[in-house]
Structure 1
Amino acid sequence: MTDEHGPTPPKRVVEVLSESAQPGKIYNAAAREARKEAERTKAKDAIYSALSRWVGETVHQDVAIPMVRDGKRIGTMQQTILGQGREVDDIVAASKLMKASELRKLRDDYNRISKRAVQLADGLTSLDPADLFKLGAAPRNATYDTDTKVIRAIGIIPSLLISLPELLAALEQQTNYLEKKLDTSGAALGRSKNEAAHGVALRLAKLYARVTGKRPTYSEGPNGLSGEYTPALRSVFDALGWKTVSLKSPAEAAISQITDEDLQPYVNALSYGLLSYPLE
């Protein structure tokens, strides 16, 4: 993370440094942060290795993730608005263990965003239609991004007014989830390792389904792991330092949530988080 003054240290290190000077405590906090970062990097490497096996070609963070059907490359999962390789980052992000204080902050952030989104919608709808038209018709630079072209074809203002209710619904859903979690008896624990494991398993399963067009399966027996999804999930868990975490519950829960839509190679930019996957 950086700001206008340059790189900022991890939160845990800042917290320690703000207390009385204790070299041992400072060293331990810095070491923990370094270890976590190394684990996250290994997890990303494990995901890219799995992707390479699934598609039959080398995949890394600097290239678009290929999609295959019946062994043939049909396109790539290009993300022109949110950035390249976001799917991999999202899988690793799900591994973060959150404290109750962090959950409360996230809930409060969601509430603030919701209020501002409502204010934006109210402000736009209060404008005279002629003024709204001028906003949408303002000259803009040429673009080659598929997502931006789709939005401009529909119209910037209509696209915004269509997407705002979707955003508000998602924010309400997530806020309610956080409220329920904070109300539970184990709220002080925040997001547990078990919950994080389920999150990683689900996001990896969705990536597998989108890339290959196949439903992931859980295959673990006396002779070890088999299939394509299960060994990949084990590699990611191990990279994150979760060597003792069982695959069975997270994998089976993830597989049960895969839908027919997850198997489709193309997703409209407006219906799936402003992502579009152009076919070759």
Structure 2
Amino acid sequence: MKKFSQMAIPYIVWSILMLVLPMALIAFYSVTQPGNSIISFSVTLEHYVKFFTDADFLIILWRSLWIAFKTTIICLLIGYPVAYYISHCQERVQNILVFCITMPMWINMLVRTYAWIGLLSQDGLIQRLLKMLGLGNTELLYTEGAVLLGMVYNFIPFMILQINTTLCKMDDSLLEAAADLGADSIQAFGRVTLPLSIPGVVNGITLVFLPAVSSFFIPKLLGGGKYFLIGNVIENQFITVGEWNFGSAISMIIAVIMMLLMMCVHKAEARNQGGKEEA
């Protein structure tokens, strides 16, 4: 048993170096500010006060949470039927469809987002199709819709794969038992398939919502600087302005908000599962 526990040491070391230390450094920067010739730094909560007392930052935070929420809902509404269809295909067809979904992910996300600039621009393919339909001169690029489209396109594979994995693991005999008890296909889906797929839905929501909140290059490229999200603010503070302390404070605020939201989601899932077990 001791030999097996020792195998976890490299993972623990890697986690400390790649996760714990960077987060500790960001937390340190967020509560300090440069000092003078006598002291190198001083502890302060000024950066947090600055964020929560500035209406512009709060508006950008709300906008980021709202577009991440819309991205997650769209990915769920599209991803669940796709995952459901894939799970009911033959194994060979399932492998092909999963391959088709994962293949674009082999390409760098930045490159995939750049491709949408060409598609949505005035001389792009989508604009040409709209002109053929008599709907030309519609502004597609550098809008909220373009940002939302880019996020859904980049993050929807995570939703589909998580839900599909859960559905594929489901015991088909449960559906047969539901049919034997007189349940039709809709009732079997609502009482058996949907509840059992909730863990996959929760994992999909987590993997879509978290990167959508902090995304910065998608709104930067497809929003053209007109649609500023909290990820762009953090990038701007670190790279352009050079305010590492304030940027770290914003990063910590976003990290806490995302952890609280995910805790609420998982608590709701646990409560739902507990209620089903009691029933």
Tell me whether the two structures share a fold, i.e. TM-score over 0.5.
no
Q: Greater helix share, 1 or 2?
A: 2
TM-score for the superposition, normalised by structure 1: 0.28
